[in-house]
Amino acid sequence: MVLGVIDRFSDQNKAVVLVDELNKEFIVDRSDLPQDCQEGSWLDLELADDQAKIRSIRMNSDHTKNKKQSIGDKMGKLQLKERKNGKLKRKN
C-alpha cells in the first residue's frame, strides 16, 4: 500500500494522482475514485506487483485532514509574519 495525492483533474474527467514515494504519476478515471475525492485528497493505493497499475483506491480521510490542517497552520504563520513586516497589502 502506498500513499498518493490527487494533484489535479483534467477536462476529460481524469485525475492525476502523484505517488512521491515511487516518483510516479497515475492517470485515473474520476469514476474510479471514491465519491468525495477532490484535488488535494490523499489516497491509499494498492498497486499491482509491477507497480504499473492501481488495483484498489481508498480515500485516506485522516491523512487528508492532517495535511490540510498543516497547510492552514503554515499559511496562517506566513500571513502573520507578513503583517508584522508590513508586507501584506490592504484591500480597499
Task: Assess if residue 92 is contained within a domain.
Answer: no
**Domain presence at residue 53:** yes
Using DSSP's 3-state secondary structure scheme, residue 71 falls into helix
- Identify the domain containing residue 57 by its residue range: 2-84
DSSP track, 11-68: TTSEEEEEEGGGTEEEEEEGGGS-TT--TT-EEEEEEPTTSSSEEEEEE-HHHHHHHH
In a domain, residue 33? The reply is yes
Whether 89 is in a domain gets the answer no
Query: Quick check: is 91 in a domain?
Result: no
CA distance linking residue 24 with residue 1, whole number of Å: 14
pLDDT digits (tens, 9 = 90+) for 35-89: 999 999 999 999 999 999 999 999 999 989 988 888 888 888 888 877 777 765 5
Give the number of domains in the chain.
1
Question: What span, in angstroms and rounded, lies between the C-alpha atoms of 1 and 19?
Answer: 11
Kindly state whether residue 35 falls inside one of the protein's structural domains: yes
Predicted confidence (pLDDT) per residue in 30-40, tens digit: 999 999 999 99
CATH number at residue 41: 2.40.50
- DSSP letter at 89 equals P
